[in-house]
Chains A and B, each alone.
Chain A
């Protein structure tokens, strides 16, 4: 059977109205959001609250139905403006399916910078869109961290009051959770998974675009909380404080609902793509380990995010129609929120970290010039982490009144996670053993990942242990612990992967020598910040507190000074990235790291539909002993238009 040609018919010279509108995607999206918000608010604060429950009279908290409906309509208006409803409405009306030419246009044929600002179904463009958005969130969330540490230079409030400080903490944490949940799968999963498994696109390309375009309205809605009084619950949104909060809480709820939807849909799409669209000759046992990590993470996202959505729906219901899910006087319980939230929240932690493990193990053989040691064991480790992550959530409730008889189980299950995590470390150490390691800049980030995550894991053991958790819970020790795992782990892996994959994604590279200085700056300042905070936590300083005892000031000042330097070093990374890639446009070698991975064997820029013919005869892409590439591409065929 002949392989299918990817040759597309030439573009029509007269673009249709729909296409012309599509070119204005982002602008129309924003206009749609504004119109949708105004219409939604009018409907919510007037008609809906008159109809049921609210009685048309705003409560003492304001008009929650109006705000929530306004947000929902603004998200819908944004998506409508981006063109997401064209296809489903066309199907509902039974009009002709899009032609090949239409699909090619939607995929980005014709090129141009404009496709990065509109709905497109090219997974590579979506990967780049994610990259820019993640870095923007990282920057905004990082600014929040700088404000927090500046405030904590003194033991008493200096530049903020308690309310605005708590809003700042909540905004920083929620934005960073937004960023972290898509930080690796968003840019690298979307860009590289289809290439790594030898397919031309995702199983549901429009859905893939939707998962990305849900995030900008989610971010805008969350940031709008500052105009509505903010929220004081932090990212965990605990009830009944959430019920008592002002209108700013609604931003949190809608923002989190949208991010939960995005995580769940992205997970479903990734699973379907990986399990049903692999190229000929690629069984599961020959998938690159990064693809495995994405698969495990996608299952976590698809199965855990509905619990978050259920919890958020309950809270929305409570705030709009005075339901009492979480209010004991009305028959509810705050523990219901805690259980549902953490049933999502703990797997969410592994949604951050497992793809980072995958990236690290994907890059490690390239720099050690050795096959990945214990590939199957590493896969087992990631699957083990994924499975166990569903049965540990109650360790977040040790001090919340959890029945004492349940504590040993959750302590044991939590500590059990260190076993598959240890296996992943073992695989990495085995790969490093007697290797001819190349200490390139990405490799430095890999080593830093191991160092930081080891501290994160080690401190986690104390928090999984009931007696020590009782004294450390809700202190800066916890805060330092998860920053070691999320920032020290995931963000360091992200930075390493950006340096590593940028030549493939953009054809540009960064100044590797300059990045070495940046690496040491970020590594030292990161550890300086959070080791200080571990000490502060052990000494008993509670997190989210604006004031603290005077004897804690030296350690807090140390943390703040290191944190401000950390912020500068992160800004340096962004600066180098923008300078080298956007302004200076330093051209990269085709395969600067001499990787055997399939993604490095396709041309740069990657062709529009990835492959002119699907590669066959796959092997694991880690055969550095023989230098054999991971797949057979057959006779060379000229690439189609670049991506």
Chain B
């Protein structure tokens, strides 16, 4: 009689919080998030293609500030690199003294990501009821991404605090799951930046 299930999990894993379950679920969340992003993409392309009443992107309505938009992408990328280093250290079971520093660096990148994105949205300066649907969907899309960045940053903070306080040392499954999530949202935000900045 085997205690190993066809799913590859041990009985212990099934009773406790299995690492594989965590990573699998995290990817499911990405799949669901993809539907949300595709819905917004559909809205963007649909409104742009039809340009009802010539009100897709009326003259005088600009695009998001270029420099700030690029800075808003730089910090998530720093976060990806830091989280990749964290995962690399944890997955190889290296007792690295740099690990808490890397975790804090990733969290700092997350905080700066949120702050710059809030500042960026404040700089849009669009009056939504007359700026056309380009401004509407761009604002909504940036708001959705901001909410997602904040959500993952909160998750990251919980991992950082658990690790540095020693109450819940970081495991490789958590490190990998959050790396994947952050990378996914960063990738989406790069794609959204390109779309909003250049497909006007």
Contact = CB atoms under 8 A, between A and B. Distances in A.
A3 B14 CA distance: 11
The 6 A-B residue pairs with the shortest CB-CB distance in the complex, in nearest-first order = A331-B55, A94-B161, A322-B129, A310-B39, A306-B36, A91-B158
A343 B36 CA distance: 12
Majority SS of interface residues in chain B? helix
5 contacts: A204-B25, A276-B7, A282-B6, A313-B144, A324-B129
Given A305-B32, A325-B47, A340-B42, 6 more contacts: A277-B9, A317-B136, A323-B140, A324-B136, A328-B52, A331-B56
Contacts of A148: none
B50 A280 contact: no
A561 B63 CA distance: 61
A122 B118 CA distance: 40
A88 interface: yes
A20 interface: no
Interface string B105-137: 000000000000000000000001110111011
A323 B139 CA distance: 10
A336 B29 CA distance: 25
Contact of A276 (B24, B29, B53): B24
Q: Kindly name the residue among B6, B10, B56, B137 whose own CB sees the greatest number of chain A CB atoms within 10 A.
A: B6
B158 A92 contact: yes
Contacts of A271: 28
Nearest to A273: B21
Interface string B39-53: 110110011001111
Contacts of B133: 323-325, 330-332
A53 B53 contact: no
Contact of B164 (A94, A199, A278, A332): A94
A1 B10 contact: yes
A220 to B, nearest CB: 24
B164 A4 contact: no
A280 B158 contact: no
Contact of B43 (A283, A306, A314): A314
Nearest to A335: B46
Given A321-B128, A322-B128, A278 B168 contact: no
B132 A307 contact: no
Interface string A140-161: 0000000000000000000000
Q: Kindly name the residue among A281, A311, A336 whose own CB sees the greatest number of chain B CB atoms within 10 A.
A: A336
A96 B167 contact: yes
A92 to B, nearest CB: 5
A276 B18 contact: yes
A325 to B, nearest CB: 6
Contact of A306 (B39, B140, B167): B39
B59 interface: no
Interface residues of B, number: 59
Contacts of A272: 21, 24-25, 28
A203 interface: yes
A546 interface: no
Interface string B15-28: 10010110011001
B98 interface: no
B161 A92 contact: yes
A325 B132 CA distance: 9
Contacts of B1: 280, 616-617
A1 B51 CA distance: 66
A310 B136 CA distance: 13
Contacts of B18: 203, 276-277
Interface string A70-87: 000000000000000000
Contact of A97 (B4, B54, B144, B168): B168
A247 interface: no
Nearest to A286: B6
B94 interface: no
Contacts of B15: 4, 200
A278 B5 contact: yes
A339 B46 contact: yes
A550 interface: no
Contact of A313 (B2, B28, B140, B165): B140
Contacts of B47: 325, 331-333, 336
B162 A91 contact: yes
Given A268-B29, A276-B20, A330 B55 contact: yes
A637 interface: no
A286 to B, nearest CB: 9
B164 A303 contact: no
A264 interface: yes
B157 interface: yes
